[in-house]
Amino acid sequence: MTLRSYRMDEISEKRDNRRENIEEYYYRLDVQYEIVKQLKNRECAILVPSWVEDYNSKRKSVRNLKVHSPQYLQQAIKRLNFNNKKNYEMYNLYGSVGVYKNGVPFTTLQLSNRDTTDWKRNHYKSMIGYDFFLDIDAGSSTDVKFALKSAVMICDYLTVFECPYSLRFSGRGFHIIIPYNYFKYNDFDPSNENSIYKKYYKIAKYLHDKFSEMIDLKIYDSRRVFKLAYSLSHYRQQSYICWPFESMHELDNFEIEDYTLSALKTKKVRGRGVWIFNENGNTKRLLQEIKGVEDRK
């Protein structure tokens, strides 16, 4: 297989075609490295956006991909099918919220040869971590300002308790993620009453009731995937970059137009990584606060 990649200086400013821009972006080595870093021991998924209604397109979504090097990512993004004539057929790149001991066991892209039944049933047994993931979801681009306000309030609240978190734009909202190593929960069996998903749901519900109803509470299950930082989030009119923020200053000056693919396509991302705010903090005080409020009820 011929591997193809672009260096930063090869990016043409003149090409304006959306599909070509997407292709160029995903074939950039710096982008590939940043995406692969996040997929270590996680499942990769390539899914059609929810606004695509064509069932035949939906069926091309793939889950359970193992992507542990740029070469694997390049194979996977071949699935993104840039040469497809259907303009609406665009794919988002996701990673699992759960982290597995040895990643997912599937390395073949011969999808018809894979039998994932056993994995679907027993995946949680090889899980070693599951990030706390808060999805602040705006229904439309006009509601993003409310999602922004929600994100700012929640981030300020987490900072008060010196709670570590990362924050990124998701295309139509914001994702706040607390890495799993800041929690001591390790019950990954979804059928258990004290599973990590139920514990995370309680935290999300608390923040939902206190700050914003835009927080999606239906996402706490063992197979959940989220959009990867630096991946693209496609909508009918525009593609946005899921951009992780490095400082609250970026959030203060947030304008959705600044995060379109065309606005950011030449911005370097190598080594930028995903910033953790309050990295040396812990979740102890936040959990104590939530428990205290629940007890008072």
Partner 1 sequence: MGKKRLPSPTSEDIERIAETLINTDDFDEIQDKDSFNLAFDEYLGSNDALVKNKDVRNATFKEVQRLKPTVESKEVFTKAKGKDLRRDRRSDAKEIVSTQEEYTKKGAGKVDLKGYDTKPRRPKKDVFNKIGRIKNKIVYVKAIRITVRGKRVNRFRDAKGRFAKVN
Between 210 and 267, CB nearer to partner 1: 210
Kind and range of the H or E run holding 78: helix 70-78
CA angle in degrees (0–180, nearest 5) for 25-31-32: 105
**Among residues 149, 205, 223, 272, the one that binds partner 1 under rule CB under 8 A:** 149
Binding of partner 1 by 272 (CB under 8 A): no
- Least CB distance to partner 1 at residue 215 (A): 9
Binding of partner 1 by 211 (CB under 8 A): yes
Look at the chain and count its residues. 297
Binding of partner 1 by 210 (CB under 8 A): yes
Residue with tokens 């139509």: 172
Binding of partner 1 by 143 (CB under 8 A): yes
Contact (Cβ atoms closer than 8 angstroms) between residue 163 and residue 286: yes
Between 212 and 282, CB nearer to partner 1: 212
Binding of partner 1 by 207 (CB under 8 A): no
b/e map 170-191, b = 16+ CB within 10 Å? bbbbbbbbbbbebbebeebeee
Strand partners, 239: 234
Between 78 and 210, CB nearer to partner 1: 210
Crossing angle of the two packed helices 196-210 and 144-160, in degrees rounded to 10: 110
Contact (Cβ atoms closer than 8 angstroms) between residue 158 and residue 210: no
Binding of partner 1 by 153 (CB under 8 A): yes
| Residue 172 three-state SS | coil
Binding of partner 1 by 86 (CB under 8 A): no
Interface pattern 26-65 for partner 1 (x via CB under 8 A)? ---------------------------x-x--xx------
Q: What is the total count of residues that contact partner 1 (CB under 8 A)?
A: 16
Between 210 and 268, CB nearer to partner 1: 210
The binding site for partner 1 (CB under 8 A) comprises 53, 55, 58-59, 138-139, 143, 146, 149-150, 153, 210-214
